[in-house]
Structure 1
Amino acid sequence: MTTTEISDLWKVISVNTGVTTARRIDAEHPLDFFASYDEENRMQLLLISDILPVLPNSSKQILVRANPRNDGKFAICFSLTDSALKELFFSLTWDIMNCTYDISDRHVGINKAVSRFKKWQKMFAASKDKMSSTQVKGLIGELILLRDICIDKYGVKKAIEGWVGPLGTDQDFQFDDTWYEAKAVSASMDKVNISSFEQFESDKDGFLIVNRIENTSPLDPDSFTLKTLTQRIYDIISNDADLKSLFHMRLILYGYNETDDHYDESYKLIATEKYLVDEAFPKIIRSKLDASICDGSYEISIPAIQGWRIV
């Protein structure tokens, strides 16, 4: 199902004040998800569960409840309290259903759905915040990597499915044979920041992609904005509605909001540098640190890793 089809379900439900009304979202899904309105006429995602999972606390944007039913099951309810965020709520619904569609164990699927909701809850809390210029550049760097390297090598579907950085993974892109981490820096920058000890830790060789990006004039023939860059990828996806929905989910999870005025700034890609991150590549990894070291980040000198540069 697409987010449009999901949003249409709420439109056909009759709203009755004081009564919860619901409609099953997808009869073929292994879990029982319902689009509904709660007793106060708030949009609600409802999941019928035969176990009581550990639920997060409610937030200002979403009310979380587990209501016991007469049949011994539970109605896990996520009610949207801020109606201005309904488009984001449709995306949340689509993503939670999509990530649990192939589960073989209902209990595992229910816990996975709750875990995915927790990630979205953070996004809802930050939904009113604008992305910083650094975050915009970071997203641009990942989208350039998606467009210019991953789609060319793996095809559109596998490339977008492999873009897992917005889900909180250690690397931006993960595939069966390798992984990619994107870094966006200015043309003169001589170092990159590695945000965690886990970022370069893997049993597979991967690649560090350094995209050198600068602000430029809108009149520059090579200029682009974040909006035009995302639209180009939508155009590449063409008419695959499910894949467009997945790409849209990834953008939202990253923090993308089309109303942000940062997205109208013009940028220019100066150069893309590709480095092989193998066992010998200089890095700090969690497995080689003392257990007393809890967390940290570090910087890598770009001139010092030219021996690993591929292009």
Structure 2
Amino acid sequence: MTDIETPWTHMKSPLGEGLTTLRVRHEESNPWYWIKSNGGAYGAAIQLPVKEEEIASTVQGTAKINIVRINDSNGDHYLGVVINSSELATVFHRLCLDLMSACRYSENPSEIIAILKRRVLAWQRLFEKGNRRLSVEKCLGLIAELMFLKDYWIQNKPSRCVSGWIGPTGASQDFRDETLGVSVEIKSHSFDSNIVKISSKEQLDSEDLLFIVAYPGCLSSGEAGGKSLNEYVEEVRRILSPNEYSVFDERLLTVGYVYDPYYDEMEFQIGEPKAYKIEGDFPRLTEYSLPVAISRIRYEVDLALAADWICLISDID
């Protein structure tokens, strides 16, 4: 299957139409099983009360991920996710472990089914991208968002949680506090430049109070020290409440991040961020300042020329 062993490596395929199963030993809170079919598909399944069968039927497979539902002779019901692609086995193993971890703190079967449903959609988007590793530029951008999430968004406002990190869901800005009407766009740039990239006309246009928080950063040289993307991810996870793990993991999956030892090979230096309040004549393009015929734009802003709009990060309330 792959050169790296997974739980499925030594599992025999069933002779009939059923599944070969192997109980996941470390998952005591919920009955999870590694599964393998006679057609070569493999994955993981959870045992659920039969009364949840109708709800479980709403979980639909995707182009690369199949959903299996089984009622055994004992009346037990199982809901599982399987794939056929052997080259994705190692990545899929990690994704299944993350799914089990996300469900560990959910005792309600309906919540578990909802988590699984969202996760299948996130996995599909990941697999559509070909499981490509994030570029250095994308790593820096993700690290900046993780640092803001950890150091400011969650820490300064107990009412804010990881669900306010909405950039990965396709929103125009990266963070939004709906209660206070505050949105924040996170940017990263090199230490020797203050230029940031704006990806749409909506990104610096909002009815909310709108801010940019920009982080300088770069790949660390060997002696300078720094931290890897994997370390930044774990720093955030440690301060989250267990019921936020599933949302956090889904956000990471959506931006294309899956734990990979490869990311440990790169360390990053990140400097102190600067905040800018987007108002008045701040240099930007918006829907109202562009001809109607222009539908999509990308441009750059030199924040060195936007000093008049610098504010304190503590102003983001």
TM, length-normalised to structure 1? 0.67
In 1, Cα distance between equivalents of 2:34 and 2:238: 33
Q: 1:233 to 1:56 in 2, by over 3 A?
A: closer
Q: Which AA in structure 2 matches 1:87?
A: R
Aligned residue in 1 for 2:209: 205
Contact 2:199 2:298 in 1 (8 A): yes
- Match in the other structure for 2:72: none
The verdict on how the C-alpha distance between 1:151 and 1:90 changes in structure 2, with shifts beyond 3 A counting, is same
CA deviation after TM superposition for structure 1 residue 185, in Å? 0.7
Residue in 2 aligned with 1:166?
A: 168
The one-letter code of the counterpart of 2:94 is E
Q: 1:79 to 1:48 in 2, by over 3 A?
A: farther
Letter in 1 for 2:176: Q
Q: Share of identical aligned residues, percent? A: 21
Asked if the contact 1:91–1:249 (Cα under 8 Å) also holds between the matched residues in 2, the reply is no
Quote the offset at 1:144 in angstroms. Answer: 1.4
5 Å-filtered alignment, 1:256-295, equals 256-286=257-287, 289-295=290-296
Is the Cα–Cα contact under 8 Å of residues 201 and 285 in structure 1 kept in the other structure?
Answer: yes
Q: 1:56 to 1:79 in 2, by over 3 A?
A: closer
Matches within 5 A, 1:191-202: 191-202=195-206
Distance in 2 between residues matched to 1:289 and 1:38, nearest whole Å:
56
Is it true that 1:88 corresponds to 2:99 in the alignment? no
- 1:154 deviates by 1.9
Distance, in Å, in 2 between the alignment partners of 1:269 and 1:36 is 40
Residue identity matched to 1:160: V
Kindly state the Cα deviation for residue 123 of structure 1 after the two structures are TM-superposed.
Answer: 0.9
* CA offsets 1:91-147 (integer angstroms, 9 cap, x no match): 569989x9xx9x9xxxxx99xx97885454121233531111111111111111112
Equivalent residues of 1:194, 1:298 under 8 A apart: yes
CA distance in 2, matches of 1:263, 1:183: 23
Change (3 A) 1:267 1:286: same
Change (3 A) 1:260 1:206: farther
80-89 or 176-185: bigger deviation: 80-89
Cα deviation digits, residues 214-273 of structure 1 (max 9, x gap):
33345446x322222222223323xx3222343233223222233252443222223311
Residues 1:143 and 2:150 are matched in the alignment: no
Quote the Cα distance in structure 1 between the aligned partners of 2:297 and 2:210: 21
Q: 2 CA distance for matches of 1:266 and 1:234? A: 19
> Counterparts of 2:228 and 2:163 in 1: how far apart (Å)?
24
Quick one: distance in 2 between partners of 1:193 and 1:170? 14
- Partner Cα distance (1:185, 1:154) in 2: 26
8 Å contact kept, 1:95–1:249: no
Paired residues of 2:210 and 2:278 also in contact (CA < 8 A) = yes
SS at match of 2:285: coil
TM-score (norm: length of structure 2): 0.65
Matches of 2:284 and 2:100 in 1, distance apart? Answer: 38
Return the alpha-carbon distance in structure 2 between the equivalents of residues 45 and 124 of structure 1: 20
List per-residue Cα deviations over 1:66-104 (Å, max 9, x = no partner): xxxxxxxxxx996422344143256569989x9xx9x9x
Structure 1, unpaired ranges of 5+: 1-14, 22-33, 66-75, 104-108
Amino acid of the residue matched to residue 197 of structure 1? K
Structure 1 residues 1-311: aligned runs within 5 Å: 17-19=16-18, 40=38, 42-43=42-43, 58-59=63-64, 62-63=65-66, 79-82=82-85, 83-84=89-90, 85-89=92-96, 91=98, 117-126=120-129, 128-155=131-158, 158-176=160-178, 177=180, 178-220=182-224, 223-237=226-240, 240-286=241-287, 289-311=290-312
CA contact (8 A) 1:213 1:271 kept: no
Aligned-partner Cα distance in 2 for 1:290–1:310: 31
Tell me: CA distance 1:142–1:170, structure 2 relative to 1, closer, same or farther (3 Å).
Answer: same
Distance 2:101 2:267 in 1: 32
Secondary structure of the 2:173 match is coil
Equivalences, count: 266
